[in-house]
Amino acid sequence: MAQSSTPLLSYWHPDITYDFTLRIGEEDYSTDLVRVEIRSAVGTPYQHIILDIHIDARDILEKELFGQLPIKLILRLHGKEPEGLEQVDFDLMYINTQTTFTPVEMNYGSDQWERTLVRLKTVCSKPYKTMSRMVNNVYLNSTPQTIITNLIGNTAELNYDTMGRNDLVIDQLLIPPTTVYKVIKYLNRTYGIFDGALGFHCSYDNKVKIQNLSAKPRSAQKFTLYLLATNDDNKKIFENDDPTFFYTKTEIGNAYQGNAIFSADAPTRRYVVKPRNTLFKTIDVNLQSFAKNYGVIEKNNPSIYYNSDTIDPDVRISYHKDQTGYDTDQTFINATLSPSLLSMSTVVAQITGNLPTLNLMEVGEHVKIISKTDVDLKLGGAYVLKASDVSFIKGGSWESSARIYLSRTNIAMQ
């Protein structure tokens, strides 16, 4: 389980260092660990952690490191003061390994060591158990939140967003034997959990987060990313000791795929549903208006750009009849269509320095960009943290970097 204390500096400082403890079963491999990568994403049920260790490959065979042993990884970020400490504990499960066995003599002595790089791919064990747990039940007159709360039970802590929550009462629902993860996906696909894009995952500390991504720009940001100018005095930003402030001087990637999304999803969508007391009902959706209402929108410029002459909304119409709908409720449309609009505009940024890690793993949360350059000014504003890769590499000492993937629906601020 995770333990954290006082906030730390979000910029590099020579007095700030990392150290790691790695144990596989009863064996300590801390000094052999050379690289750690923590991958978090909205679309995955739990985090993936990659460990690179330099060991003699025979350890894998002789000590039977085949996945049955628990793995404990402890990350510590030390500050100048004794109380300046961030510690995160990961309980991991080995998924697979990659290594190379080099040729050796026939009588391989116990004093001979042939170190090689072994890569362990792992997942957080408790979140894995939580999301893959088998369930089977019947629910009567229940809301999606009631069903999910019951499914999670006391196996994990549940954090459920309230903004835009679907409080529809489902008269009856039979869940055949399946996993918690698949039930949540089914509920969202069939009824809609929010009036917007769903994000859900179980974090390393065994907290299941059910998030309305479309509503995140209306909540407080988890952290702020500054795009710095190379010729500006950034001393005040560098000296800020707030762990919710990050910055980058490197190039950033940006992509906008408005025409691709509107071409694939169609600017006009027609749903044919079958309410209980009616033969059928037709629901028409204008994708441009829908994107403004249910996308992840930077409010300072809610414009949605696409080539409406070529992708004509009066001609390019898609029909959808497989989803029966639930009476006349349209939440399932809002929930299933909005995810494709989430990543219409993306920013990829590289952050370096001795970084506090906790905020960078908070995928699905609101992140704000502030640009200090005129050319990048329109990229500023509200985004959702869709994914992050936080890496640690040991040279003379441990150094960190992070690649973050930010998403929203509209391309630019005014």
* Domain residue ranges in the chain: 3-101+115-130, 131-214
- Which of residues 93 and 110 earns the better pLDDT score? 93
Cβ contact 372:379 at 8 Å: no
Mean pLDDT of 304-326: 88
pLDDT score, position 124: 96
* Block residue for tokens 């490197």: 250
What CATH number was assigned to the domain covering residues 131-214? 3.55.50.10
Residue 91 has pLDDT above 80, yes or no: yes
Range of weakest confidence among 117-126, 183-192, 294-303: 294-303
Range of weakest confidence among 194-203, 288-297, 300-309: 300-309
- Which of residues 69 and 232 earns the better pLDDT score? 69
Mean pLDDT of 329-356: 87
In 3D space, the residue among 19, 45, 224 whose CA is nearest the CA of residue 123 turns out to be 45
Separation between Cα atoms, residue 406 and residue 253, nearest integer Å: 10
User: Which helix (DSSP H) or strand (DSSP E) does residue 408 occupy?
Assistant: strand 398-408
In 3D space, the residue among 290, 302, 381, 304 whose CA is nearest the CA of residue 344 turns out to be 304
Mean pLDDT of 399-408: 92
Residue 251 has pLDDT above 50, yes or no: yes
Mean pLDDT of 226-240: 67
Residue 90 has pLDDT above 80, yes or no: yes
User: In the chain, what percentage of residues exceed pLDDT 90?
Assistant: 55
pTM to 2 decimal places: 0.87
Cβ neighbour number for residue 150 with a 10 Å cutoff = 12
Residue 68 has pLDDT above 50, yes or no: yes
pLDDT score, position 339: 92
Q: What is the CA radius of gyration of the chain?
A: 24
Q: To the nearest whole number, what is the mean pLDDT of the chain?
A: 85
DSSP result, 242-297 = -TTEEEE-S--EEEE-HHHHHHHH-SEEEEEE--TTSS-EEEEEEHHHHHHHHS--
pLDDT score, position 11: 42
**How wide is the angle at C-alpha 196 spanned by C-alphas 195 and 201, nearest 5°?**
115
